[in-house]
Amino acid sequence: MDIFDLLKLIGGLSLFLYGMNVMGNGLSKMAGGRLESILEKLTTKKISAVLLGAGVTSVIQSSSATTVMVVGFVNSGIMKLSQAVGIIMGANIGTTITSWLLSLTGIEGNTIWLSLLKPSSFSPVLAAIGIILIMVSKSESKKKDVGNILLGFAVLMFGMETMSAAVAGLADVPSFTGLMTAFRNPVLGMVVGAVLTAVIQSSSASVGILQALCVTGAVNYSVALPIIMGQNIGTCVTSIISSVGASKNAKRAAMVHLYFNLIGTVIFMLVFYIVNSFADFGFMNEPAGAFGIALIHSLFNIGATIILFPFSDKLVRLAKITIRDGKKTEVIEDRISIDERFLERPAFAMELCRSKAREMAELIRKSLDLALQVLLDYDRKKADEVIKMESVADSYEDVLGSYLVKLSSKNISTSDSRSMSIILHSISDLERISDHAMDIVKSAEEINAKGLSFTPNAKHEIEVLCKAVTDICNLTVDSFCNGDDEKATHVEPLEEVIDTLSKKIKENHIRRLKEGKCTIEMGFILEDVLNGLERVSDHCSNVAVEMITIFDNDYNTHEYFKNFSSEERASFNREYEELIKKYPITG
C-alpha cells in the first residue's frame, strides 16, 4: 500500500461519511418532523416503544440521532424516562439496517441478477436520478429531498467501494496482518471498536469501515467480533455528550443507553467466549465478510434487546443510582422550555414551537376568562391565578421568541416559514392580552378594597361588553391554534363592535354621573376597565390580521383594510350590523 492508496482511503472514507450524512439529512427532511412527532406521542407501551425506536432509526439511519432526540424529549419533560428505555433499545436494532445495505458490496458472482444487486451497478443510476431531481426541483421541495437521499446513498456506496479498493493491498502487508492478529484479544478489540466509533460518532459508519477492511482477507471473525461489540459501546458517546448541561433525567436517559450496550456486550462476550472454549467455533479463524459482520451486528442488538427488555425498569433504577438527585431537590424544568437539540431537526422544532404557541394562546384565553369573572364577581384565588398566568405568559414569549430567532437561520420549508412569521408576530400581542387581564384584576381589587360597586345598569353594560370580549378572544385563539385564516376574518368586525360598545358605555356613564347615580372615583376605575377591554380586542385584531396577511403572502398589515374592495367592505358592514344586534346596549 503506497501513498496514493492512502489518499484513496482517506477520500473514500470522506465520501462514505459525507454520503451517510447527506442521506440521513434527506431522510429526516423527507419525514418533515412526522417521525419525531410519532416518537414523542406513541410510547405508552414498552414493546411499542421498541418497535417505534427501531422504525424511526431505520428511516433516519442513525441510532445516535434517535437517542439524542430522546435525551431532548426527556430534558424538555415531553417524555418520561421509563418511556425512553424502549426507544433506545429499538434504536440499536434499527441502526443495523445500514450494515445490511453496506453488505451489498460483498456480493460475488457474475450472473445478471447478482450483478444488478451490486452497488457498482445501480449506484450510478441512483446518482444520476438524484442529481437531476436536485437540479430541476424548487428549493425545499419533496423531490429535492428524494434527490438528496438517492445521491447520498450513491456517494455512500461509492465511498465504501473506494475504501475497499484502497485497502485491498493491505493483505500483503505483514505489519497490517500482525495488527489484525493483535485485535483478536477481546478486550483490545473492544477498545479499538469503541474508540473508533466514539471519534466518528456513528456505529453505522464504523461498522461500514470494518466491512470495507474485510476485502483484505486479514480480518477474521475472531477480530471482527470484539470490534463490533466495542462499536456498540462507542456509539453511546454521542448521547452522553448531548446530555451535558441537561436535566438529571436527560443524563439518566444517556446512561440507560450506555448501560444497555455495556451490559449487553458483557453478557454476549462472556457467554460467547465461555461456550467457544468448549465448542471451539471453527468459523472464528475464517475471513470475515460484509454479510457476516451485518449478521453479527444484528444478532447482538436483537439478542441484547430480548434479554434486557424484561429488566428495563432495572436499567432506569441503575441510571437513577448513578445520577442521584442529591441533597437539594433539583429545580423542575420549566414546562415551556424547548430543547435546543431539536434545532438540528428544524421541521420537528417548528412543530414544537407551534405546540407551545397553542399552549400560550390557551393560557391567554383562560387568563382573560378568569379576569372577567373576577371583575364581575370578585374572587381572591382567581385573581391570584391570573397574576401567576401573566408571569407564565411572559416566559412563553421569551422562550418562543428567542428559540424562533435561532430556528430562523435553519433550512425550513415555506409552510414552516409562514408559521414562524405568524407566531413571531403574534406572541407579543398574546402576551399583552395577559397584561391587560392582570390590569382588569387590579381594577377589580380596587373596587373590592374600597367597597365600591357598579350601578345595575353599568354592571349590565359591562357584562355585555365582557361577553363580546370573551367571544373575540375565543375566535382569535381558535383561529390561531387551528391556523384558520378564514375564521380570522370575522375578528375585525367584532373588534369594531367592541369599540362602539365601549363608546356607548362611556357616554352612558357620563349621563349617570350628571344625574348623580355614579361617582367620579368609580368613573376612573370604569375608564381603566374599558380601556383594558378595548386593548384586548385590539390585540386580538392584530393577531387575526397578521394571520390573514401572512397567509395571503401580503405581509403588509397597515394596508390590509385600505385594500378592501367595495364588495368586501359591504360584507364587513353587514357582519358588523348583525353583531351589534347581538350585544345590545341602550344609550
* pLDDT per position as a tens digit, 548-571: 888 666 545 555 555 666 787 888
CA distance 428 to 366: 17
Coil, strand or helix: which one is 80? coil
Q: Quote the pLDDT of residue 260.
A: 92
The amino acid sitting at 266 is V
* Residue 128: half-sphere exposure toward Cβ, Cα within 13 Å: 5
Asked if residue 144 has pLDDT above 90, the reply is no
The listed range with the strongest mean pLDDT (75-79, 287-291, 523-527) is 523-527
Map grid coordinates 468459523 to a residue.
283
Using 50, 70 and 90 to split pLDDT, how confident is the model at 374? very high
Torsion of CA 156, 157, 161, 167, to 10 degrees: 40
* Contact between 570 and 449 (Cβ < 8 Å): no
The listed range with the strongest mean pLDDT (121-135, 332-346, 387-401, 502-516) is 387-401
Using 50, 70 and 90 to split pLDDT, how confident is the model at 124? confident
In 3D space, the residue among 60, 59, 61, 39 whose CA is nearest the CA of residue 50 turns out to be 39
In 3D space, the residue among 165, 145, 126, 235 whose CA is nearest the CA of residue 13 turns out to be 165
Asked if residue 334 has pLDDT above 50, the reply is no
Please report which helix (H) or strand (E) contains residue 535, including its range.
Answer: helix 520-551
* Residue 324: half-sphere exposure toward Cβ, Cα within 13 Å: 4
Instruction: Provide the whole-model pTM.
Output: 0.70
**Cell for 533?**
377591554
The amino acid sitting at 424 is L
Q: Rg of the Cα trace of the chain?
A: 32
Coil, strand or helix: which one is 287? strand
Stretch 77-99: mean pLDDT = 82
377, with CB counted inside 10 A (0-12, 13-18, 19+), is exposed
Q: How many of the other CB atoms lie within 10 Å of CB of 271?
A: 12
Asked if residue 286 has pLDDT above 50, the reply is yes
Map grid coordinates 434517535 to a residue.
66
Q: Quote the pLDDT of residue 17.
A: 78
* For the chain, percent of residues with pLDDT exceeding 90: 27
CA distance 204 to 195: 14
The amino acid sitting at 259 is Y
CA distance 265 to 268: 5
Q: How many of the other CB atoms lie within 10 Å of CB of 350?
A: 24
Residue 184 DSSP code:
T
CA distance 18 to 572: 57
Torsion of CA 170, 171, 173, 178, to 10 degrees: 110
* Contact between 537 and 496 (Cβ < 8 Å): no
In 3D space, the residue among 17, 283, 287 whose CA is nearest the CA of residue 170 turns out to be 287
583 phi and psi angles, rounded to 5 deg: -125, 75
Asked if residue 499 has pLDDT above 60, the reply is yes
CA distance 32 to 137: 17
Using 50, 70 and 90 to split pLDDT, how confident is the model at 329? very low
Using 50, 70 and 90 to split pLDDT, how confident is the model at 32? low
CA distance 410 to 237: 25
Lowest mean pLDDT among 132-146, 147-161, 330-344, 517-531: 330-344
The amino acid sitting at 263 is I
Q: Quote the pLDDT of residue 330.
A: 41
Using 50, 70 and 90 to split pLDDT, how confident is the model at 462? very high
Of 441 and 165, more confident: 441
Q: CA separation (Å) from 274 to 265, 267, 270, 384?
A: 14, 11, 6, 68
149, with CB counted inside 10 A (0-12, 13-18, 19+), is buried
Q: CA separation (Å) from 89 to 48, 82, 249, 459?
A: 11, 12, 17, 62
CA distance 210 to 199: 15
Of 181 and 273, more confident: 273
Q: What one-character-per-residue DSSP string does 447-468 give? A: HHHTT----HHHHHHHHHHHHH
CA distance 57 to 89: 11
Round to the nearest angstrom and report the end-to-end CA distance of the chain: 98
Asked if residue 116 has pLDDT above 60, the reply is no
Q: Quote the pLDDT of residue 176.
A: 64
What are the residues whose beta carbons fall under 8 Å from the beta carbon of 154, sequence distance 6 or more? 19, 123, 124, 126, 127, 130
Residue 53 DSSP code:
H
Stretch 313-332: mean pLDDT = 72
Q: Quote the pLDDT of residue 154.
A: 85
CA distance 335 to 522: 40
Asked if residue 383 has pLDDT above 50, the reply is yes
**Chain-centroid distance, C-alpha 66:** 11
* Contact between 538 and 527 (Cβ < 8 Å): no
CA distance 222 to 205: 20
Asked if residue 418 has pLDDT above 90, the reply is no
520, with CB counted inside 10 A (0-12, 13-18, 19+), is exposed
Lowest mean pLDDT among 164-173, 195-204, 554-563: 554-563
Using 50, 70 and 90 to split pLDDT, how confident is the model at 387? very high
Q: Quote the pLDDT of residue 498.
A: 94
Asked if residue 204 has pLDDT above 60, the reply is yes
Asked if residue 133 has pLDDT above 90, the reply is no
Q: CA separation (Å) from 441 to 387, 501, 503?
A: 8, 21, 22
Q: Quote the pLDDT of residue 156.
A: 80
Mean of the per-residue pLDDT values of the chain: 82
Of 286 and 437, more confident: 437
Asked if residue 289 has pLDDT above 90, the reply is no
Q: Quote the pLDDT of residue 538.
A: 94
Asked if residue 109 has pLDDT above 60, the reply is no
In 3D space, the residue among 403, 382, 275, 432 whose CA is nearest the CA of residue 338 turns out to be 403
Q: CA separation (Å) from 521 to 343, 372, 463, 502?
A: 53, 20, 20, 18
The amino acid sitting at 317 is R
**Cell for 382?**
382567581
The listed range with the strongest mean pLDDT (75-79, 403-407, 409-413) is 403-407
The listed range with the strongest mean pLDDT (293-302, 535-544, 555-564) is 535-544
